[in-house]
Amino acid sequence: MVSSVFASFFTTDKGEIEKRLASLVENISRDRGEGKISLGLKNQKLQKMLTDPCRISIPRHNIEVKKSPLELASYVSRLGARAQRVNIRFYDTSISLINNTEAVVNTTLRAKGEIRSNKSFSEVEQIKIELVKKDNEWLFSSFEQVEVLQK
Amino acid sequence: MNFDYGIQKLSLLRDMRLVLMINKKSLKQFFFPIPRRGFLIRILIIVVVAFIVFRFIAVPSYISGRSMEPTYRDKTFVFYLPWLAMVRSPQIGDVVMVRMAGHRVMLMKRIVAMEGDIVEFKNGWLYVNGKLRLEPYIIYRNPWQLEPRIVKPGHVYVVGDNRGMSINRHAFGQTEKDRIAGYPLW
């Protein structure tokens, strides 16, 4: 009781967004030999973190779509199923609050892991994430790849 | 003769013991120094100098990836000079650090063309403004094909030295000059 009152007074929006990002990383990452139940739970948690619809923009591949949380979580699961291990990390994260209910995160995403044939992969992208606050919870509403290099 | 030898042996042993004692004392002092004022000031100076050098002058970086091979190998270290980006204008042939959202994760690439230049790849060979650019640092070469494109104002065109990988797997292209965060030391 005391701790929740304390937390409600001292938890800032930026702090909540940081926690949200940590949770996103946890629910996208995948450990070697992780069970189906655990992956299913992660999928459900991921769905609850997204707005309906959620925008995905990847200019390099001319992708600009709006998907439901279920569709997106399923897509992440399908991608994850192709890998034995996926480790996601954010670097240089800056959080800007536009107003009380909207925020923008600019960060560098690094994905490392191994695919089924034991080949390792490592991808780095700068991404812009938009969040909206609904019912006192920050939800991800958009993920956009920032083109650092344009072929 | 034997007597003299005995004296010499004794003095040698004594000297050795003395040296060992001194060394023990200095070793102990080195590893467990008495935190006197002078010592603390020296430590503080070392920490401050190390922070300034490794944060602003020559920043250590770990290379992860093969896009700059063979010039820069995967899983090796390099120092980069962030201050040089402020005083030097980028030139063709320079290896640069391209920042992303910040300075913790960056891309390391080589500048091959400047703003206004037309860049294209034909069978893995780089052409700038229609002329073949000979690049002595390239060892591996895949038959890359890329249609001609103009480098936008305020941009530079950067490519990695490892052209042996597939064009789709290699991150390259034009980027804003402002994104150049530094130059590697070697």
At residue A31 the predicted structure's pLDDT band, cuts being 50, 70 and 90, is: confident
Closest partner CB to B101 (pick from A108, A122, A150): A108
Average pLDDT over residues A36-46: 88
Is it the case that residue B48 has pLDDT exceeding 70? yes
Q: How far apart are CA A21 and CA A105, in angstroms?
A: 9
pLDDT at B98: 97
Return the structure tokens found at A81. 């199923």
pLDDT at B87: 94
Contacts of B109 in chain A (CB under 8 A): 149
Residue B115 distance to chain A (closest CA, Å)? 13
- A122 Cβ under 8 Å from any chain B Cβ: yes
pLDDT at B144: 94
Nearest CA-CA partner of A89 in A24, A20, A34:
A24
Residue B31 distance to chain A (closest CA, Å)? 37
Nearest CA-CA partner of B105 in B186, B185, B179:
B179
In sequence order, the β-bridge partners of residue A129 are: A105, A143
Contacts of A110 in chain B (CB under 8 A): 105
- The reply to whether residue B102 touches residue A94, judged by beta carbons under 8 angstroms, is yes
Chain A, nearest residue to B119 by Cα: A151
- The SS3 assignment for A86 reads strand
At residue A101 the predicted structure's pLDDT band, cuts being 50, 70 and 90, is: very high
Chain B, nearest residue to A110 by Cα: B105
Percent of chain A with pLDDT strictly greater than 90: 58
Closest partner CB to A149 (pick from B64, B103, B172): B172
pLDDT at A77: 85
Q: How far apart are CA A98 and CA B73, in angstroms?
A: 42
pLDDT at B33: 76
Q: Is there a contact between B141 and B121 (Cβ–Cβ < 8 Å)?
A: no
pLDDT at B162: 94
Q: How far apart are CA B154 and CA A87, in angstroms?
A: 35
Average pLDDT over residues B146-171: 94
Average pLDDT over residues B151-164: 96
At residue A8 the predicted structure's pLDDT band, cuts being 50, 70 and 90, is: low
Q: Is there a contact between B133 and B126 (Cβ–Cβ < 8 Å)?
A: yes
The total number of residues shown for chain B amounts to 186
Average pLDDT over residues A56-75: 91
- The SS3 assignment for B46 reads helix
Contacts of A106 in chain B (CB under 8 A): 101
Average pLDDT over residues A51-75: 91
Interface of B with A (CB under 8 A): 64-65, 98, 100-105, 107, 109, 146, 149, 158, 171-175, 179
pLDDT at A130: 96
Is it the case that residue A30 has pLDDT exceeding 60? yes
Instruction: Return contacts of B54-61, CB within 8 angstroms, 24+ apart.
Output: B56/B82, B56/B83, B57/B81, B57/B83, B58/B185, B59/B103, B59/B182, B61/B97, B61/B106
pLDDT at A151: 87
Q: Is the torsion defined by CA of B182, B101, A127, A144 positive or negative?
A: negative
Average pLDDT over residues B41-60: 95
Q: How far apart are CA B121 and CA B56, in angstroms?
A: 37
pLDDT at B36: 83
Q: How far apart are CA B67 and CA B84, in angstroms?
A: 23
Percent of chain B with pLDDT strictly greater than 90: 72
Instruction: Report how far apart, in Å, the C-alpha atoms of A147 and of each of A58, B100, B102, B107 are.
Output: 9, 9, 14, 13
C-alpha A51, offset from chain centre: 12
Nearest CA-CA partner of A51 in A70, A78, A31, A24:
A70
Q: What is the pLDDT of residues B15-46, one digit of tens each?
A: 766 666 667 777 777 777 777 888 889 999 99
Q: What is the pLDDT of residues B119-152, one digit of tens each?
A: 999 999 999 999 999 999 998 889 999 999 999 9
Chain A, nearest residue to B176 by Cα: A148
At residue B2 the predicted structure's pLDDT band, cuts being 50, 70 and 90, is: low
Chain-wide mean pLDDT for chain B?
A: 89
Chain-wide mean pLDDT for chain A?
A: 88
pLDDT at A60: 86
The reported pTM is: 0.81
pLDDT at A5: 59
Residue B181 distance to chain A (closest CA, Å)? 13
